[in-house]
Structure 1
């Protein structure tokens, strides 16, 4: 696995390093269901119904999950390394305090996914829609959200470094108590902030986004705007 930068970045912002996952020849997963602390290496999970299964603490190395159902799947403390999750769906997937390193998540349809306290490093989220994503207290480094829709994502208390939003709709995001560094919001096609606008230091926005967010900034500063 190698990683590549998107470029030197604009306006002095350091660009995120994207994962370049190159999977080996994979074997089909032949087990009945996931196991806690399981060790999965070089396996493909294709259109498997993993809803409600418990795989907490499991390790996925050089794996592909394609079209799998993850409703209520327990993956707390799991580790996904050099892996691909494509077209996964689910509500209430528990990935709290998990690790995603060199991972591509594409065309996902998820709701209420729990990633609080998780570590995301060199992760690409491309396409799809994720509602109510819980990233509270998570650490994101070299993460790119591209061409996706994020509805009410919660970054409360999270640390974001070299995070980019490219052609991505970011709706009612909460940055309360978050820490941002080299976070590039300029590529977001939609940007609305429900909380933590005072924590956007370390982020870069466009002039148009500044105008759109002016009422939020004014409210945070206690400024009344009247004509």
Structure 2
């Protein structure tokens, strides 16, 4: 089809198996309509209304979708490819197995939408409202999510590798079993966020705030966490292996059974923290503050601790190799005895 349907009312209609090529559909009404196997190519759909519509295998390709309305709609297997689509309204919509590829969705409204098994690939979302959105098994690799409202959003079993979230407000956001490896969250606020079983491996997190976050078994391996704020966070079984925690604030955290092996902790404060059964083996503690830190059963194998501030190890702590390294400092003969063979 190649004609003008501008302003045409197709509310409640059933459309199937059609292709609209270079059609003018400005302000067209599809409210409550049922569309299946429909393709819009190079169409003008500015302001078109798909409110409460049901869309299955509907594809928008290289079309102008500015100000379109999909609120309350249900889309399955749909896509937007290389579309101009700012200010689109997806509020309370359901998007299943859908994809947004190289499309401009800036300043769009996804408030309270439910999105599952979908993908945002090189999509622009700056300035959009995704507050309260549920993302389940959604892929957003490399997406720029700066200035996107994600407060109270819920990500589950999703992937956001190399995403841009620096400076983002993620307070009370939930990331359950979600991968944010190599993502940029420098200066982001995750205060009170729920992060259970998620991964921030090799992510950029300098200056990020995780105050009072719930982060059971979260992986921060190799992450840059310099100056990050974890005050009061629940970090039981968290993994900080080889991470950079210099000057980080870990005061009053619960890091029981956590892994700090090979981490850099110089200048960090763990005052009042609970680190029972945590491992600090091979960590670079430097002048970290351990005043009032609980360390029952903690491990400090091959960890130099003589510059740490307020560090008092209970009898249950494992620190045999540390004691040996300290004795080597004062007994050159002991150092030669334990020197590895070349």
1:58 corresponds in structure 2 to 133
**Higher relative contact order structure (alpha carbons within 8 Å, sequence separation ≥ 6):** 1
Encode CA deviations 1:166-193: one digit per residue, 9 max, x unaligned.
22222211012222211111132x2234
Alpha-carbon distance in 1 for matches of 2:202, 2:285:
25
Name the SS of the counterpart of 1:60 in structure 2.
Answer: strand
1:196 corresponds in structure 2 to 270
Instruction: Give unmatched runs, 5+ long, in structure 1.
Output: 1-24, 221-227
Encode CA deviations 1:177-218: one digit per residue, 9 max, x unaligned.
222211111132x22343333415323312654565444424
Instruction: Give unmatched runs, 5+ long, in structure 2.
Output: 1-95, 289-305, 313-342
2:112 to 37, 43, 46: 37
2:236 to 150, 157, 161: 161
1:177 corresponds in structure 2 to 252
Encode CA deviations 1:71-102: one digit per residue, 9 max, x unaligned.
22211111000100011113321111111111
Alpha-carbon distance in 1 for matches of 2:307, 2:126:
42
Deviation at 1:158, TM superposition (A): 0.9
1:87 corresponds in structure 2 to 162
Encode CA deviations 1:142-170: one digit per residue, 9 max, x unaligned.
11112221121111111111111122222
Residues 114 and 133 of structure 1 are in contact (CA less than 8 Å); yes or no, is this contact kept in structure 2? yes
Residues 172 and 193 of structure 2 are in contact (CA less than 8 Å); yes or no, is this contact kept in structure 1? yes
1:217 corresponds in structure 2 to 309
Q: Does 1:27 align with 2:98?
A: yes
Residues 73 and 92 of structure 1 are in contact (CA less than 8 Å); yes or no, is this contact kept in structure 2? no
Alpha-carbon distance in 1 for matches of 2:203, 2:215:
19
Q: Which has the higher strand share?
A: 1
Output the aligned Cα RMSD: 2.5
Name the SS of the counterpart of 2:180 in structure 1.
Answer: strand
Name the SS of the counterpart of 2:129 in structure 1.
Answer: coil
State TM-score, norm by structure 1. 0.76
Alpha-carbon distance in 1 for matches of 2:285, 2:225:
20
Name the SS of the counterpart of 2:158 in structure 1.
Answer: strand
2:262 corresponds in structure 1 to 187
Residues 72 and 93 of structure 1 are in contact (CA less than 8 Å); yes or no, is this contact kept in structure 2? yes
Range that drifts further, 174-183 or 210-219? 210-219
Deviation at 1:123, TM superposition (A): 0.9
Range that drifts further, 56-65 or 127-136? 127-136
Alpha-carbon distance in 1 for matches of 2:175, 2:165:
18
* Gap change, CA 1:146 and 1:156, over 3 Å in 2: same
Encode CA deviations 1:105-136: one digit per residue, 9 max, x unaligned.
12112221111111111111122322211110
Deviation at 1:48, TM superposition (A): 2.1
Q: Does 1:46 align with 2:121?
A: yes
Alpha-carbon distance in 1 for matches of 2:261, 2:139:
31
Residues 34 and 50 of structure 1 are in contact (CA less than 8 Å); yes or no, is this contact kept in structure 2? no
Between the two proteins, the alignment pairs up a number of residues equal to 195
Residues 164 and 184 of structure 1 are in contact (CA less than 8 Å); yes or no, is this contact kept in structure 2? yes
